[in-house]
Structure 1
Amino acid sequence: MNNLLKKIDYNNIPNHVAIIMDGNGRWAKKRGKLRSFGYEKSIQSIIDSLNACQELGISYITLYVFSYENWNRPKQEIDNLMDLFYKNFDNSLEEVNKKKLKILVIGDIHKLSRLIQKKLIYFMDKTKHNKSGTLILAISYGAREEILRATKNIAEKIIKGKGKYSIKDINYSFFQNHLYTKNIPDVDLIIRTSGELRISNFLLWQSAYAEFYFTDILWPDFRKKDFFEAIINFQKRKRRFGKI
């Protein structure tokens, strides 16, 4: 671990890292368990990633917890996942609060049960003054849905604004302010576990200039050293943002 830390340039740390936490079901299946068992065992991977962020001074981390498309999975699996969320929210989010992290949630949380919505709102309010960093939970989230939602909201403002807004007002900043992530900086690095090479409708707008890191490690096996290796790989890239 110390050897990895020596390779890290602390002057080139990403400000915002996002993780597609993939491979939970496959990890469980390899062990002859239900898919939900993989999600249950992935909590340590989340803790390790949060600890790595704090150790490196990364200000924002977004976790792809449950996608908008995940609602299409079998009802029993969804019920198991929601039950797991509900049972683990208190301990997990209290741990986040101890780390002095602010919790934000992005996505269509109205599709979640009222009990889960209340817990999320409670912890967002409880941690809103924390200053050590920000944990963004993407739950019932889809990037296309987010962009459509923003477009509809802007159109409604122009139609009902009685001249207050016009087409000329729509620029990059105006549109960005209608996204779930309106006060969050763009993503610098997206990590995806399990060997899949796609972004699965995740932060399409926010990742316009993000670097991508793919690893074959299944999410429940992902540890702090693996996070550090992703950062080292990121630091080998030359980020030009369209320039020469």
Structure 2
Amino acid sequence: MSKRSFPLGRGLLYGLYQTRLKRGLTKDAMPRHVAMIIDGNRRWARQLGLKTVAHGHRAGAAKMREFLEWCDDLGISVVTLYLLSSDNLTNRNSDELTALMEIIAELADDLSRFRDWRVQHVGSTAGLPEHLVTSLAEAEKRTATKTGMHVNLAIGYGGRTEITDAMRSIVAAHEADGGSLDTLAELLTPDMIGEHLYTGGQPDPDLVIRTSGEQRLSDFMLWQSAHSEFYFVEALGPDLREVDFLRAVRDYSRRQRRYGS
């Protein structure tokens, strides 16, 4: 479902509308896990005539900090942010990637020092610069004992690669235990595969949101989103407003989840 953002301003009427949306949400109908595909940062920078698209990426990162606050304030337990795909590592120019890596490293450090959030990198480190890998590892270590909202940073992430890595992990563990391929075939289940994904042990996303009006998954959480609800927002990433998010959650709460039926 796609929703267009209409300018409501930031005055009294906007505040009243935002409060009304929040009051209409019930705790029982709240998603536990929200996944966000932040898209449109480059278009945002170009539309404003900014010198480089890095300005758009930085604005998008700042918006994701806001987005996490909105989620936390509603009591959502897990949020996954799709910040950099494995495909981006090969189809973006080097200058843009260098700037984006710095912005993501700064964001990871910032989030690890904010509230009681637990930060986790989900994705592969292949192709990521050493300083970013270090920043992600330090953010995870710094927040390992925190008990607040769980924040997944999908960086160097690809859904197909994740499933492939999960299968390799299962085969390697089974072989290490002395098992054969025949016995593995008997034991293999969707639950076992799920346990070996980057997000193993976490609930699958109930709601997947994408900004910029694009309506595709872009290799994001292919396994985990099998029964997710989707919501597409016309606003470019940096222009996302809290009312857009609240509308997405309201829409989710009104849907009858069928889980494939």
Is TM > 0.5 for Structure 1 vs Structure 2?
A: yes
Distance 1:156 1:90 in 2: 33
* 8 A contact 1:20–1:190 mirrored in 2: yes
Taking the aligned partners of 1:87 and 1:215, their CA distance within structure 2 comes to 26
Q: Can you give the 5+ residue segments of structure 1 that lack an aligned partner in the other structure?
A: none
Residue of structure 2 equivalent to 1:2: 19
Percent of paired sites with the same residue: 34
- TM-score, structure 1 normalization: 0.92
Tell me the residue number matched to 2:172.
Answer: 156
Residue 112 of structure 1 aligns with an amino acid whose one-letter code is L
- Counterpart of 1:13, as a letter, is M
After superposition, give the CA deviation of every residue in 1:2-44 in whole Å (9 maximum; x if it has no partner): 1111221222000000000000000000011211110111233
Structure 1 equivalent of residue 9 of structure 2? none
For the residues of structure 1 that align with 2:141 and 2:106, how far apart are their CA atoms?
Answer: 19
> Greater shift after overlay, 198-207 or 127-136?
127-136
Residue 89 of structure 1 deviates from its aligned partner by 4.0
Distance in 2 (CA, whole Å) between partners of 1:119 and 1:87 is: 8
Q: Name the residue aligned to 1:189.
A: 207
In structure 2, which of residues 105, 115, 125 is the aligned counterpart of residue 86 of structure 1?
A: 105
Is the Cα–Cα contact under 8 Å of residues 51 and 224 in structure 1 kept in the other structure?
no
Change in CA separation of 1:115 and 1:54 when aligned onto 2, cut-off 3 Å: same
Match of 2:54 among 7, 12, 36: 36
1:55 aligns with 2:73: yes
Q: Secondary structure at the match of 1:38?
A: helix
Mapped to 2, the partners of 1:149 and 1:88 lie a distance apart of 26
Q: 1:157 deviation in Å?
A: 3.7
Question: Partner residue of 1:16?
Answer: 33
Q: Distance in 2 between matches of 1:180 and 1:58?
A: 20
2:132 maps to 116
Q: Which amino acid aligns with 1:54?
A: D
Structure 2 residue ranges without an equivalent (≥5)? 1-17
Matched pairs, number: 240
**3-state SS of paired residue (2:204):** coil
> Alignment RMSD, CA only?
1.6
